[in-house]
Structure 1
Amino acid sequence: MLRAHMCVSVLCRLSDKFVLRWIDRKIGCVQPAVGQVRWKTCRPAPFLTAKPNRALIDEPITLEGRHLPPHSPITVRARMHNEDGDLWEAFSHYNTDGRGVVNLTRDESVGGSYVGCEPMGLFWALQPAPGEREGLRLRKKNVETPYSVQLSLLEGHIPVPSSHGSNKEQRQRGEQELAAVTVERWYMAPGVRRTEIRQNGVVGTLFLPPGPGPFPAMVDLWGMGGGLIEYRSALFASRGFASLSLAYFGHKDIPGPLNTINVGDAYFKTALQFLQDHPQVCGDRMGVMGLSFGVYLALRIATQIDFNPRCVIGVNGPIGSFNKFLDRDGMTESFEGNQTHWSYDEEGYVSFREVTTPNNIPPENKANVENLCCPLLYIVGEDDLSCAAIENADEIEKKIKDAGRSHLFTRLSYPGAGHLIEPPYTPNARASMWTTQPKQLITLWGGHLAPHAAAQEDAWKRTLEFMERHLRGKEDK
């Protein structure tokens, strides 16, 4: 009797232990799922990794999802908000391999915002979500903060949201998020110093790399959008070059009407002298870069001012100005004053391409590029709808060649790329809002997502190599 009682007692204890172990295993299989708890199998939960998860904007990252169902459709989604709160997103469709793995560096997207093996496609394919404002362009205003991008794994192949209908309606598709990770994309590396410049009438922002220097330097000029754009200069400093982002138009700290250039050659000479005199800058190792109208200014600085840059880089810009400088140290006519060569597409979007055709630029308003004494890298987007970049490149090249200096000219030309060739892995805006008087218009920039992205990646690499060679004296390896 006692033996039987003991056997029953032992069996009860063993049974209790078995039940506890069974419960413990089941608890280990409980997984969070979009705000609730659900039961899953004991297979490890899906997870998504991004390496590195904190990087400069021009650095590629590796994305990989694991522990997914084998040979199954998966969507990888990117979402972020710009500094004004607008939602941007991109989608890519993949099929997992036999191990339940998807790797964006290796695998091909079969649909979504892009197709093919594009490791950084989720970044350069970002577009405003349905229901967001019209005419958006992604531009970083505060370079001391990153873009935060949320990357998610979703079950199935989720259709790319249509531009029609509200954003809220399209969020009710039953998307099942399996895993997520957030990455930070920076323009400023740790240790880069940013200083606002308001000195002797000069308006700009100086970026210095970490360390004591002195550093080779760039003067960074943008186009007729005006204001003070800092993100390219911040990235130059992150790559070891001091850079002065210089305002010259449409800025509250520059006196005069916002729709005219109220500075002349004296302003640029003062800015150059400031940079040359800076104790952390190599005054004899300076270059100039311009985008759009900034190209004309860069060429003018290099050929018509008492300044000898080591190199000039131009992106989709004209050889001259349709609106003349009233004098060398004065102002231009109003940019909106003469709309003779403006053209419009069927949607009413404006193109300034014909404004910059060399035949439409008065000869006296053209830079004297035949006097150029330093290497010039000219970058062309062949689908540029804002500037006649090909025609301007042809004229610049001919004048330099006729002067016996063809060795100074290098052209990079990219089919399918538009006007706004910027640092890599950033999305292109084929058209965006442009403020003119008395109303706002959407202007055409051109460019198709995939070829434009490829152009930005290659052009940025070649730009940094060009700067290394001519500002630091390093040859390509």
Structure 2
Amino acid sequence: MKFNVEPAIALCDEKLSIKISGVSPFGKVKISAIMSLPWAVNTAFESFAWFTADSEGNVDLSVQKPDSGTYDFADAMGLIVSMKMVKGKLEDIVKNISANNSLFIEFIAEYENDRICTKIERLFKRGDVKTQKITDGFVGELYYNSSSNNKTIVLIGGSDGNMSALSLIAAPLATYAYNVLSVAYFNAEGLSKKLAEIPLDYFDKVFQWLQKSPITSGNDFYLHGTSKGGELALLLAVRYPFIKKVAAFAPHAYCFQGLNYRNVSSWTMAGSPLPFIRLKNRLLFLNMLDCFIKNKSFGYAYTYKTGIDQAENKEEARIKIENAKADILLIAGENDNIWNSSDGCDDLMNILKRNNYSYSFNFFKYKETGHPFPLPYIIPLSVTLSMKMLPRLVFETGGTIAGNAYAQADSWRKTIEFFER
């Protein structure tokens, strides 16, 4: 038996080729994968799949569905996206995230008495990517290299406020020759602990710094925002006419109540709150109770959708995206259970069309997809798709492993292409 996994060393977003040859025609082969995260060495993830070789004794994971295992669709990355945690806890994953060390994955092929192991290395960044932490008026971290193409992407995260998680997106983007500035806007030293009443004026300091820095001065400025960060990115595109491109991953079309269970806006400008759609806590907890009683999965999408349907100030709370001067890329899953971002993106597209928006705009809507992390092949989807809140209450972000895996990979490539154009 020959077992080939390539490339042995590659960027973390690259697809693998996994093939077996030299077994008996229609022979049964088992392939397993084992991984721990480099910043959380006490975690362990595993996956496996059984395959039947073809008439020539070959197995190719890119075109063959497994007979059984942790996934059931044809994909060379199926073993990675379907990994399940067998050691560690969720809090181990979200703490101290870093893109500085490589990710190693061990693959094991078993056929009759043969057993072959091979290990591959996955890089978050190339060696020439440098970083610079910034506390000069705002909290951020700049990723750059000597071959940067005079374009700077301002990277904005979502409602978890986890600045370190942004490094997993910033480092690969910088490897594609962009300057990437990840920015914390809450839950960091000197900033609000909660995502509520965040001043958009804070970003004045961000762009002033970028325009003065010898690394980024005079560059084209782009935005990449995820979830609530997508909502924020669209607001910033309206506020700053020099923004040339915005990639919004699972955003929405409206400003919403802050995430502190109080009736206040998520955002302010010049000291005044932006109009927002209220999210009634009573609705949230009644929906949670209903899911608990009926043993159904729970998510926030129902609360957001109901809040929009009942709002009498939708137009006031709407993000006036037609006033931006940027090319816009929208990405969302049809089954997003965090909030109904797909509906929001439909609204955004309709607004742009009605207003004959003079810049490019596009929306990619993915089936069987929820609210995944924007970068593929890093955090196993089994971790992010569902989390147990109570013995009979499971929080689900939406979609299937196959749907989310495809959306992550395809939307990441579309995002790179969007920034490159």
**TM-score (structure 1 length as normaliser):** 0.74
What is residue 60 of structure 1 aligned with on the other side? 15
Alignment of 1:122-271 (within 5 A): 122-129=79-86, 133=89, 141-155=97-111, 178-200=115-137, 202-211=138-147, 213=148, 215-228=150-163, 229-251=166-188, 253-256=189-192, 258-261=193-196, 263-271=198-206
Where does 1:437-476 land on structure 2 (aligned, <5 Å)? Answer: 443-469=395-421
Unaligned regions of 5+ residues in structure 1, if any?
1-45, 157-175, 435-440, 470-477
Provide structure 2 residue ranges, at least 5 long, that are not aligned to the other structure: 258-264
Work out the CA distance in 1 between the residues paired with 2:215 and 2:388: 38
> Is the CA contact (8 Å cut-off) linking 2:4 and 2:18 kept in structure 1?
yes
Contact between 1:397 and 1:406, CA under 8 Å: does it hold in 2?
no
- 1:312 corresponding residue in structure 2: 246
Q: Conserved in 2, the CA contact under 8 Å of 1:80 and 1:88?
A: yes
Residues 140, 260 of structure 1: alpha-carbon distance in 2 compared, 3 angstrom cutoff: closer
Show the counterpart of 2:32: 77
Residues 32-57 of structure 1 deviation map (CA, whole Å, 9 limit, x = unaligned): xxxxxxxxxxxxxx453322111111
- The 3 A distance-change label for structure 1 pair 399 and 108 is closer
Specify which of 65, 82, 88 is matched with residue 45 of structure 2: 88
In the alignment, structure 1 residue 352 sits paired with structure 2 residue 328:
no
Percent identity for Structure 1 against Structure 2: 22
* Alignment correspondent of 1:24: none
Given candidates 180, 194, 212, the residue that maps to 1:277 is: 212
Q: How far did 1:69 drift?
A: 4.9
What is the distance in 2 between the residues matched to 1:325 and 1:178? 55
Q: Distance in 2 between matches of 1:433 and 1:247?
A: 28
Which of the residues 320, 324, 328 maps onto 2:269? 328
**CA offsets per residue over residues 385-430 of structure 1, 9 Å max, x none?**
0111122112212222222217632110111011125222343221
SS in 2 for 1:281: coil
* Aligned CA distance change for structure 1 residues 442 and 239 (closer, same or farther; 3 Å): farther
Secondary structure at 1:91 match in 2:
strand
What amino acid is aligned across from residue 107 of structure 2 in structure 1?
Answer: L
Cα distance in 1 between the residues matched to 2:171 and 2:15: 18
SS of the aligned residue for 2:281 comes to coil
Contact between 1:140 and 1:231, CA under 8 Å: does it hold in 2? no
Indicate whether 1:416 and 2:356 are aligned: no
1:302 aligns with 237
Counterpart amino acid of 2:144? L
Q: CA deviation at 1:263?
A: 3.9
Aligned to 2:260: none
Match of residue 164 from structure 1: none
In 2, the alpha carbon distance for the partners of 1:442 and 1:197 equals 38
Contact 1:47 1:178 in 2 (8 A): no
**Cα distance in structure 1, aligned partners of 2:170 and 2:388:** 23
Q: Distance in 1 between matches of 2:25 and 2:419?
A: 47
Distance across 2 between alignment mates of 1:139 and 1:391: 32
Moved over 6 A (4+): 134-140
Aligned residues: 392
**Equivalent residue number for residue 67 of structure 2:** 110
Instruction: Say what the alpha-carbon RMSD is for the aligned residues.
Output: 3.1
Greater alpha carbon shift after TM alignment, 361-370 vs 390-399: 361-370
1:49 maps to which residue? 4
- For the 8 Å contact 1:295–1:315, the answer to whether it is kept is yes
